Amino acid sequence: GQIVKLTDYRPTDFVLRGVDMTLRLFEGHADVVTILAFERREGAAADAPLCLDGDELILESIAVDGEILPPSRYEATPDALVVSELPESGGFEVRLETRIAPEENTKLMGLFRSNGIWCTQCEAEGFRRITYFPDRPDVLAPYKVRIEAEKAVAPVLLSNGNPVEAGELADGRHYAVWDDPFKKPSYLFAVVAGDLDALHDSFVTMSGRTVALGVYTEKGRAPQASYAMDALKRSMVWDERRFGREYDLDVFNVVAIADFNMGAMENKGLNVFNHKYVLLDQDIATDTDYAGVETVIAHEYFHNWTGNRITCRDWFQLCLKEGLTVYRDQEFSADEREPTVQRIASVRRLKAHQFPEDQGPLQHPVRPGEYREINNFYTATVYDKGAEVVRMIATLLGEADFRKGMDLYFERHDGDAATIEDFLACFEEAGGLDLSQFALWYAQAGTPTLTVSESWDPKERRHTVTLRQSLTQGAAGTGTEPMVLPVRFGLVGGNGEDRRAEGDVSGEARLKDDVIVLTGEEATITFTGLSDRPYLSVLRDFSAPVMLEHQQSEAERLALGRLDPNLFNRWRALDDLIAEALTSAARRPLGDEEPALKSAIVDALLASADDDELAPAFRAQALTLPGESDVARQLRENVDPDRVHEVVDAARVAIGAKGLALFERLSTGRPSAEPFSPDAESAGRRALANTALAYRCAATGDPAAAVAQYRAASNMTDRLGALAILAHRFAGEAACESALDDFYRRYENDDLVLDKWFALQATAPTYEAVETVERLANHPRFTMRNPNRVRTVFGSFAAGNQVAFHRPDGAGYRWVAEKLAALDRINPQIAARIATTFRAWRSFEPGRRAKLEETLRQLSEIKGLSKDLQDIVDRSRK
């Protein structure tokens, strides 16, 4: 495949003035007529041909200004259309006809059918699977779209913008016309047609305009969209209040689709969602599902300004919309829920997904410099590290100037296809600072290490803190210059309050309120005016995405775990202690029985869990041990997943045993009589109770309490919480089997719930899970055509089952590779994504490393592999 480079960017030779499309939908095919109004760009060569992108297309006809073109004037292949001898100046109109087959589109890019519903997905390069087009994000135009279909099959016809016309046609067919006055790139185009139900509502914007809201679902499921509708209205209010952003069209529609490659898509005025992020009620969805719907609804809605009104000049700028929009959805969730708990969850996700990516062969900067397949760059680095970079800008500027910078960005670039440089310039202006060194965050890949040491001078009552940063050159080879690290901190006194102290900086750093901005390799800050030695609480709220090495004693960390007024750091003090203890235990050989956690650590953890002053959701987070893959990442090399599992599990049993009375107290008397509410506080109480139940069953080795909760549960959170314990701790036992059977019988008609049943079995930490997933893949309800089902079986197994995937005989690797090779022929995007699990091959002990390497080699040699999968496999092998 060809490599696309950021440095090769140049604008198109032709400017697109408008798009007029007609889609005629039939059983088996769709006819697409596209009329494109072009003008040769000033300065472009007079003989430059018009080059349009295609993908698996067949051209039925082409005319320019009403005249059918002779074959000598154009060259059409499935992936390109080149038209020559076009007017040297002025405008002209190209009319194209293509015929496509949505039913055969298993890649789910372009126009496809999902359970009979016609649906499009155009980001990043799907529009070219519908019509030949300059399919790149810097080509913006207004669109007028007419959809025609049989009325009985597709009574609902939707597209972007506002509805302008509808009517009847012959043969039971009908049509609708949609007009989108906002110029947009083709990746934001959407059409949906089908027999859908809808939930309708309205929203009055801050300037008093009424917007009609619709959430469309498959038949009979509209009531399950009410929480999504509620989240949408809350998102609209929040964006007005927090960022002054108002919605712009007369309608805003959301459609829930069963077969969808990602979470959702922000098409202008017509967001399309994986139905997993729309449909729920207490009987089918967990609290985690509710939080997911809220986040994704908000994220896609927020794109209307950060992505749609201001889009990206090219795909290298993807983080301009994605990093910024993730930052915005994180802020929304922090405001709507419990900020510390939200921040803990975001940091956990960053460490679990982005850190390994940034430290392995698939490493790339937040703004990559080149790609072979853009679909493979919708990554944790672009999204989550991209959000961290925006968060650092906010920290550096402070709230007021950050808002000024955002206002300036919206004002200056509304209607543009912008770049990271455009974005940064707004904050430089608003904050009166130079962000040129800061821009390295977009260009240099890798996770910097921040080393902190401190010393107390009792005579002078002086506390000296030294900060050092370092970055190692990784696979991307993008450099190791010192970056700008905003390090939020506090000096905590024995009474749990932050001390005030004068700070004197030497070295390359500056001190601004409670933030040390480290700009060089090393700096020292000397704090004076202290009466006694403080506890240094550093990198509060995870103010920079770094690996922290803080040389601090266990006693100090235990004290911060009790006292730190910054709750995030209070959580992290203990979490780091536990992670380090588990990691060092995992270095010992399999079977070593020395406890990983000292009793002082366990006591501290139990004290947090028992502290009624703390929010239950926080207590549940505190009790959540680092995952096996986190421990594996910290080990870095020679990882034996069986040993990691043994260590983490033994720690869970030990904590459970020591805190048994507490865990019994926290998990009995449930389900409580209180009626279900999805709010964050109630969800926090359920999370704490379910975490306690898991410890209790770990300690007793008795499934009875989980069985009882499973049977009595009055909502999915409690039912699934109990079932997860049975499926993972008691896999293969009668209690587990009968609960799994019961669950299947209860929910076999609901694919979303059935995914949970598949996922729990695929992640059971036993060697037998390899045979289980083979059985699941042959289950009548398994299909490779549904991405959720595939992710739930192949993805959960490969990424979420360390024991079985890494079975020492290599059976897990062989199974996944075989399935991915087959999936690649159906849906390469999903195959490539799941294949990223292989990237960690170098970190394992020699036996597994050799088997992983061999599996990757075999995958790479399969003939006819997609560009998507080939790209991931080739880069992973490096």
Q: Give the Cα separation of 857 and 14 in Å (integer).
A: 44
Minimum CB distance to ligand HT7, residue 495 (Å): 45
User: Using the 8-state DSSP alphabet, how is residue 176 labeled?
Assistant: E
Residue 261: which of ligand HT7, Zn ion, none does it interact with, CB under 5 to 8 A by kind?
Answer: ligand HT7
* Binders of Zn ion in range 636-695 (CB under 5 A): none
Question: Which residues, at least 6 apart from 840, have a Cβ–Cβ distance to it below 8 Å?
Answer: 356, 360, 632
**φ and ψ at 69, to 5 degrees?**
-85, 140
CA-based nearest residue to 71, from 88, 59, 56: 59
Q: Give the Cα separation of 79 and 58 in Å (integer).
A: 9
Residue 569: which of ligand HT7, Zn ion, none does it interact with, CB under 5 to 8 A by kind?
Answer: none
> What would the DSSP string read from start to end of 756-798?
HHHHHHHT-SSTTHHHHHHHHHTSTT--TT-HHHHIIIIIHHH
Which CB atom, from 121 or from 792, has the smaller least distance to ligand HT7?
121
Residue 123: which of ligand HT7, Zn ion, none does it interact with, CB under 5 to 8 A by kind?
Answer: ligand HT7
Which CB atom, from 322 or from 642, has the smaller least distance to Zn ion?
322
Minimum CB distance to ligand HT7, residue 281 (Å): 24
Residue 265: which of Zn ion, ligand HT7, none does it interact with, CB under 5 to 8 A by kind?
Answer: ligand HT7
Q: Give the Cα separation of 697 and 707 in Å (integer).
A: 10
Which CB atom, from 257 or from 397, has the smaller least distance to ligand HT7?
257
Minimum CB distance to ligand HT7, residue 355 (Å): 20
Question: Which residues, at least 6 apart from 444, have a Cβ–Cβ distance to it below 8 Å?
Answer: 365, 471, 478, 479, 480, 481, 483
Q: Which residues pair with 111 in a beta bridge?
A: 120
Residue 124: which of Zn ion, ligand HT7, none does it interact with, CB under 5 to 8 A by kind?
Answer: ligand HT7
Minimum CB distance to Zn ion, residue 371 (Å): 18
How many residues in the shown chain lie near Zn ion by CB under 5 A?
2
Residue 180: which of Zn ion, ligand HT7, none does it interact with, CB under 5 to 8 A by kind?
Answer: none
Residue 552: which of ligand HT7, Zn ion, none does it interact with, CB under 5 to 8 A by kind?
Answer: none
CA-based nearest residue to 625, from 673, 581, 672, 679: 581
Minimum CB distance to ligand HT7, residue 186 (Å): 13
CA-based nearest residue to 306, from 416, 439, 186, 398: 416
> Which sign does the torsion angle of CA 99, 103, 108, 114 carry?
positive
> Which sign does the torsion angle of CA 760, 763, 765, 768 carry?
positive
Give the three-class secondary structure for 268.
coil
CA-based nearest residue to 756, from 743, 737, 773, 770: 743
Task: Find out whether 501 and 465 touch, Cβ atoms under 8 Å.
Answer: no
**Look-up: residue for tokens 């709507």?**
336
Question: Position 598: which residue type?
Answer: K
Residue 378: which of ligand HT7, Zn ion, none does it interact with, CB under 5 to 8 A by kind?
Answer: ligand HT7
Which CB atom, from 125 or from 322, has the smaller least distance to Zn ion?
322
Contacting residues toward ligand HT7, per CB under 6 A: 121, 123-124, 261-262, 264-266, 299-300, 303, 322, 378
Residue 384: which of ligand HT7, Zn ion, none does it interact with, CB under 5 to 8 A by kind?
Answer: none
Minimum CB distance to ligand HT7, residue 184 (Å): 13
Minimum CB distance to Zn ion, residue 322 (Å): 5
831-844: b or e for each residue (b if 16 or more CB lie within 10 Å)? bbbbbbbbbbbebb
Minimum CB distance to ligand HT7, residue 441 (Å): 20
Which CB atom, from 377 or from 438, has the smaller least distance to ligand HT7?
377
Which CB atom, from 36 or from 869, has the smaller least distance to ligand HT7?
869
CA-based nearest residue to 236, from 197, 209, 262: 209
Q: Where are the alpha helices (DSSP H) in 781-865?
A: 787-790, 796-800, 802-805, 811-824, 828-835, 846-860
Residue 628: which of Zn ion, ligand HT7, none does it interact with, CB under 5 to 8 A by kind?
Answer: none
Minimum CB distance to Zn ion, residue 308 (Å): 11
* Binders of Zn ion in range 314-333 (CB under 5 A): 322, 325
Residue 262: which of ligand HT7, Zn ion, none does it interact with, CB under 5 to 8 A by kind?
Answer: ligand HT7
CA-based nearest residue to 876, from 362, 461, 208: 362
Distance of CA 599 to the CA centre of its chain: 37
Q: Give the Cα separation of 155 and 150 in Å (integer).
A: 8
> Which sign does the torsion angle of CA 493, 496, 502, 508 carry?
positive
Q: What is the CA radius of gyration of the chain?
A: 28
Minimum CB distance to Zn ion, residue 550 (Å): 34
Catalytic residues: 300
Which CB atom, from 121 or from 359, has the smaller least distance to ligand HT7?
121
Which CB atom, from 129 or from 321, has the smaller least distance to Zn ion?
321
How many other CB atoms are found less than 10 A from the CB of residue 711?
11
Minimum CB distance to ligand HT7, residue 129 (Å): 12
Which CB atom, from 100 or from 262, has the smaller least distance to ligand HT7?
262
Minimum CB distance to ligand HT7, residue 770 (Å): 30
Minimum CB distance to ligand HT7, residue 321 (Å): 7
**φ and ψ at 272, to 5 degrees?**
-110, 135
Residue 239: which of ligand HT7, Zn ion, none does it interact with, CB under 5 to 8 A by kind?
Answer: none
Which CB atom, from 215 or from 265, has the smaller least distance to ligand HT7?
265
Q: Where are the alpha helices (DSSP H) in 94-202?
A: none
Residue 187: which of ligand HT7, Zn ion, none does it interact with, CB under 5 to 8 A by kind?
Answer: none
Which CB atom, from 1 or from 529, has the smaller least distance to ligand HT7?
1
Q: Where are the alpha helices (DSSP H) in 659-747?
A: 660-667, 680-700, 704-712, 716-729, 734-747
- Which long-range CB contacts under 8 A does 637-640 form with residues at least 24 apart? 637/842, 637/843, 638/843, 638/844, 638/845, 638/846, 639/586, 639/843, 639/844, 639/845, 639/848, 640/586, 640/590, 640/844, 640/845, 640/848
Which CB atom, from 469 or from 827, has the smaller least distance to ligand HT7?
827
Q: Give the Cα separation of 93 and 86 in Å (integer).
A: 10
Task: Find out whether 161 and 115 touch, Cβ atoms under 8 Å.
Answer: no
Which CB atom, from 278 or from 485, has the smaller least distance to ligand HT7?
278
- Using N-to-C axis directions, what is the helix angle for 287-302 and 680-700, rounded to 10°? 140
Q: Give the Cα separation of 810 and 812 in Å (integer).
A: 5
Where does this chain bind Zn ion (CB under 5 A)? Answer: 322, 325
